[in-house]
Amino acid sequence: MIGLRKFLVAFFLTSCLLLTSCTAQKAPSSFDGAQQNSTSKGATAVVDSSQSGGAFNRYFPDSGSGYERIYSQEKKGFAQAKLKKDGEEIAILSISDILNNPSTVDKYQDSANKINGFPAVSQGKSGTAVLVADRYQVKIRSKDSEFTESDRQEWLGKFDLRGLSKLK
């Protein structure tokens, strides 16, 4: 009799668990619509004609004078490197193909600041960027407060911006 009672209790609990899991419906989250749009047929995060990230590497400044450049990310339309001094990360360097986000060009329309002839803008307190050939955004973001706006501008000038402007 005790064995039958244990069996019935276990059966009842299992049945309740099964029924509640089958009937419980998850409320849609605010991200469900975005997820559906971003994964629907034909949706793409990167334009097919974007440059490969590896194509950008030769335009980054070289290591030297106590600075070390370490490539950290590379994907279609984007490449990134860390800039270190004395073993400490002081800035992030990047090149982006803005075919994925053409409205980026608008930020540079009224720029009076130029670096090697290309329009430059400040992006917040720790970022500076240059637009090259209305196609590539070269950006430096400080990771150390002592790496200033003028340091970022100097390092942007060390990129091969002219060479990058010829990349098709």
Burial of 3 (0-12, 13-18, 19+ CB in 10 A): exposed
Predicted model pTM = 0.71
Q: Which pLDDT does position 34 carry in this prediction?
A: 45
Q: Name beta bridge partners: 8.
A: none
Instruction: Give 21-47 pLDDT, tens digit per residue.
Output: 655 455 554 444 444 444 333 334 566
Domains contained in the chain, CATH given:
53-165 (3.40.1000)
